Amino acid sequence: MQPIKAVYPDGQAREIASPEEALAIFRHSTSHLMAAAVQDLFPGTRLGIGPATEDGFYYDFQTESPFHQEDLEKIEARMSELVRQDLEIQPFLWEKQAAIDYFRGKGEHLKVELIEERAGDTLSCYRLGEMVDFCRGPHMARTGLLADFKLLSNAASYWKGDEKREPLQRIYGTGFFSREDLQGYLHKLEEARKRDHRKLGKDLQLFHIFEMAGPGFVYWLPKGTTLRYELESFTRQEHLRRGYQFVTIPHLARNTLFKTSGHYSFFRENMYVLDIEEEEYVIKPMNCPGHILIYKTGLHSYRDLPIRYAEFGTVYRYEKSGTLHGMLRVRGFTQDDAHIFCTPDQVYSEVLGVIDFAEFILKTFGFEDYKIELSVWDPAHPENYAGTAENWQSAEDALRRALDEKGLRYARKEGEAAFYGPKIDMKLIDAIGREWQATTIQFDFNLPERFDVTYIGPDSAKHRVIMIHRALFGSIERFTGVLLEHFAGALPVWLSPVQVVLIPISERHHEYARQVQGRLTSAGLRVQMDDRNEKMGYKIREAQMQKVPFMLVVGDKEASGGLVSVRNRFQGDEGQCSVEDFLLRLQQLVATRAVQP
């Protein structure tokens, strides 16, 4: 892409060399284009904010009634008219009070609030046609440069994300510098829609979220629980092989536990609390304080370390209802949580071991591509962080050395670490190129200090333990949602809740089908028989819709010869084979955790 020019508040056009920055300016300008179209079509609509986002843009509007799909079509058409008119997007500077008087006169009280909060003595605005917007810019110079856009959806929102403030209507859109890029993105969106885990979860009878029980809480149905069991069973065995010890902690604790950890002060608005016998208790929002209590039940020598505690620990955090999204954003979720207590000399090998473990897990599930970020502190502002400069440098060196040892590329994010320690984030890339947060490896210099977590060193003195948080899936719920979308519901055989459906051609073949079912089930496979009085084609299509890996059709020939006719959900009819040969094949697929047959 050739460098573009953007117009700044001072009226000067400057070249933008960064493709990412240029696209963000393009999209932000398109949000202004949309706002102008909305005010043209719906007089009296008040403006909120309209930023660019990672995938496009949105604008918040205060309006008498919600927008509908036909409204979005009208807005898009009006935007195209404004593009054809090739209007100038004009910047100008304004005295603060003059701007306040102008927007107040227009009834734009949200803009007045923003100006009062954010503007200095002078501020920048941009004019597009009849619309004037308070904005820092920069913008594209003319509407004729904004041809390739698409409005995608609308949703309810609140001013500043506060449910107690004004209700708004948010319109989402996207835009690109070329029609080809736009069409490619829209194709990706359509593919994502087909893979939506919420629809797949319902169609495949895996999970449900009940309005009666409240939003953000996942109920695992029998098939979904089978899938979850396989995930947990697999990772549990791998944890034990790697020297982890499993622990279990309660779901409730006195608030004093989380006051000591600091979470009560910094995280209170996201906690669920209740009173028991005139004491305040907290439904745990994280597992780490409980694991620390278990560590502190005994006195530990350096010879005992490292100690690795693991738990499939369910936690509860308040999320605003508007942010909830199927299994991907919930209020109750189960982390594959672990905390490593070690000495400074053990840090590097422990981090290396976690990275090895994470790579093994991700590749087992078919994720060969992932991005890695190393978040570190800002050494210019040590006052913003817990722990000493020596702690931070040592931890960063261990994380960096481990990544280098593995030959993994990573982006260093200076100043983006949490106040309590540096971390590694591994973001997997799914089948259609989307990134998902997966593994986190997080140092913590805060909790060992707050809880006085120590070990006895070779000098017989107490030393502060090094604590590492880590989660490989992140959460069982979120990882399951990602798996469903990655595989479009067609899970690998070893994870499929139903691995085989037996389809007898007629009633006289039921007995043989039951014999085959018994043989496969006794070998540990998950098998169902469809003996309904329906046509065989209907049964096959339904099994196909349920994403069952294999369908075994049995009739006279199969019954007389100890055979099955095999249908693969991807390749269709594979022909006949013996029951034993089919069994061996499936056992091999399960044992090797093959991604696809």
pLDDT at 58: 97
571 confidence band (pLDDT: 50, 70, 90): confident
pLDDT mean over 312-336: 92
The fold adopted by the segment(s) 4-194 is Threonyl-tRNA Synthetase; Chain A, domain 2 (3.30.980)
Q: Per the residue annotation, which of 39, 335, 346, 442 is the catalytic one?
A: 335
% helix, strand, coil for the chain, step of 5: 40, 30, 30
Q: Per the residue annotation, which of 239, 288, 331, 486 is the catalytic one?
A: 288
Q: Alpha-carbon distance 597 to 593, whole Å?
A: 10
Q: Alpha-carbon distance 463 to 456, whole Å?
A: 6
Checking if the pLDDT of 1 tops 70, the result is no
CATH 3.30.930.10 residue spans of the chain:
201-249+287-486
Mean pLDDT highest for which of 4-8, 12-16, 192-196, 518-522? 518-522
Q: Alpha-carbon distance 274 to 385, whole Å?
A: 32
85 annotated active-site: no
196 annotated active-site: no
Q: Per the residue annotation, which of 339, 478, 486, 539 is the catalytic one?
A: 339
CATH 3.30.980.10 residue spans of the chain:
4-194
How many CB atoms sit inside 10 A of residue 257's CB?
A: 19
pLDDT mean over 134-156: 94
Checking if the pLDDT of 508 tops 70, the result is yes
pLDDT digits (tens, 9 = 90+) for 259-289: 999 888 888 899 999 999 999 999 999 999 9
The fold adopted by the segment(s) 201-249+287-486 is BirA Bifunctional Protein; domain 2 (3.30.930)
Q: β-strands 332-342, 307-316: how paired? A: antiparallel
Is-contact 201 485, C-beta < 8 A? Answer: no
Q: How many residues does the chain have?
A: 597
342 annotated active-site: no
317 confidence band (pLDDT: 50, 70, 90): very high
317 annotated active-site: yes
Encoded tokens for 584? 């061996």
pLDDT digits (tens, 9 = 90+) for 32-84: 999 999 999 999 999 999 999 989 999 999 998 999 999 999 999 999 999 99
pLDDT digits (tens, 9 = 90+) for 215-258: 999 999 999 999 999 999 999 999 999 999 999 999 999 999 99
CA R_g for the chain: 29
Q: Alpha-carbon distance 123 to 135, whole Å?
A: 8
Q: Per the residue annotation, which of 32, 228, 423, 539 is the catalytic one?
A: 423
CATH 3.40.50.800 residue spans of the chain:
500-591
Q: Per the residue annotation, which of 27, 469, 486, 547 is the catalytic one?
A: 469
Residue 172 vs residues 161, 287, 402: alpha-carbon distances, Å: 16, 37, 41
Tokens 């009819």 belong to residue: 573
Phi-psi region for residue 122, left (φ > 0), alpha (ψ -120 to 50) or beta?
Answer: beta
Q: Alpha-carbon distance 406 to 397, whole Å?
A: 14
Q: Alpha-carbon distance 432 to 188, whole Å?
A: 7
pLDDT at 442: 93
For the domain bounded by 500-591, which CATH number is listed?
3.40.50.800
Residues 6+ apart with CB under 8 A from 310: 239, 244, 245, 246, 247, 336, 337, 338
Encoded tokens for 124? 């920048």
Q: Alpha-carbon distance 126 to 90, whole Å?
A: 5
User: The whole model's pTM is what?
Assistant: 0.85
Q: Per the residue annotation, which of 5, 96, 317, 413 is the catalytic one?
A: 317
Average pLDDT, the chain: 94
288 annotated active-site: yes
Residues 6+ apart with CB under 8 A from 562: 578, 579
